[in-house]
Amino acid sequence: MLKLEGGEEFHLAISGEIWALLSAAAWAVDSILVRKGTAFSNASTAAFVSFSVNVVALVPLVLYYYSFAEILQPGNLYFVASGVIQPAMVRVLFYVGIIRLGVSRAGPVRGTAPLFTVALAFFILGDRPSLVVYLGGLITVVGTWMVSYERLGEKAWRKIDLLYPLGAALLASVSQNIRKLGLNVTAAPLLASTVSITTSFVCLTGSLAVSGGFKSLKFRGGCLPYYCSAAIFALFGQFFTFRALHFGQLSVVSPIINTTPLFIIIFTAAFLRAEEKLNKLVVIGALMIVGGIAVITGR
């Protein structure tokens, strides 16, 4: 039996690993729905709808379950810092990657975040991992190359556009560590998720207001059913991620969260056959990325 942050009792105990698996599946569905919606609109609209739905759903819950003292506690500054990075910048970069590269390519590349975590630890913290970590990194890089290889019959794309999901992966690796530090202090995943997404919403709307970017939002055609549905799955994905980080060890749940590319490949084959071409190289590459990340984080 677990106790929810607001005092409510939750009688079904769920481990961090299960939360992580649910998170991976939810983010994959979000990616597929965003990909479907981009036939009618753009990445900034997808992000704006996603953040708006998340804030409308989460803020009333937090105001109901938490006191103002709990909401304003200093430990939540970790999630403010995290929210500036993720989902604010991460989700926008990833959505742009989905539009320009396709979800079956952008998704696995986005899943390389733990590789950047190891790289940051190497250069910034002076961490010198064992040989097996370098092997995992090599497997991940080869897998990324296989996923990003050009496929017959697909729409032309630019290699430089790989920087969008790679940038999302890099920033996500920084954000995950900040989140874990914050959860060690507050132990409140629901509150953490809400503070993070609200910060991201404020950052995005502020940026659009200053730059005049509201004119770029395109609520047209059939985008809203897809984007609103994607936002709901993103909401659950975000919450499941925080619960996985809270209840599980980072080294254990991180590789599970990053199995999203496998779900993306499965869902792409099922629902995006007309939009995206899949081949054995893509499937093997996605498996290698997940396997490489498992080697790195499971050392």
Q: Where are the domains of the chain?
A: 16-297
| 9 three-state secondary structure | strand
Q: Is residue 226's pLDDT more than 80? A: yes
Q: Name residue, tokens 């590349």.
A: 109
Q: Is residue 8's pLDDT more than 50? A: no
**133: nearest Cα among 262, 95, 141:** 141
Q: What is the pTM of this model?
A: 0.81
Distance, first Cα to last Cα, the chain: 31
Mean per-residue pLDDT of the chain: 84
User: Do 128 and 122 form a contact (C-beta atoms < 8 A)?
Assistant: yes
Q: Is residue 7's pLDDT more than 50? A: no
Cβ-defined contacts of 56-61 (< 8 Å, 24+) = 57/235, 58/190, 58/193, 58/194, 58/197, 58/198, 58/235, 59/194, 59/198, 61/190, 61/194
Best mean pLDDT range from 89-93, 140-144, 154-158? 89-93
pLDDT one-digit tens code per residue, 70-124: 999 999 999 999 999 988 899 889 999 998 988 888 888 887 877 777 777 677 6
| 42 three-state secondary structure | coil
DSSP symbol at 281: H
Q: Is residue 153's pLDDT more than 80? A: no
The percentage of residues in the chain with a pLDDT greater than 90, rounded to a whole number, is 34
For 202-222, b where at least 16 C-beta lie within 10 A, e where not — what string? Answer: bbbbeebeeeeeeeebeeeee
DSSP symbol at 29: H
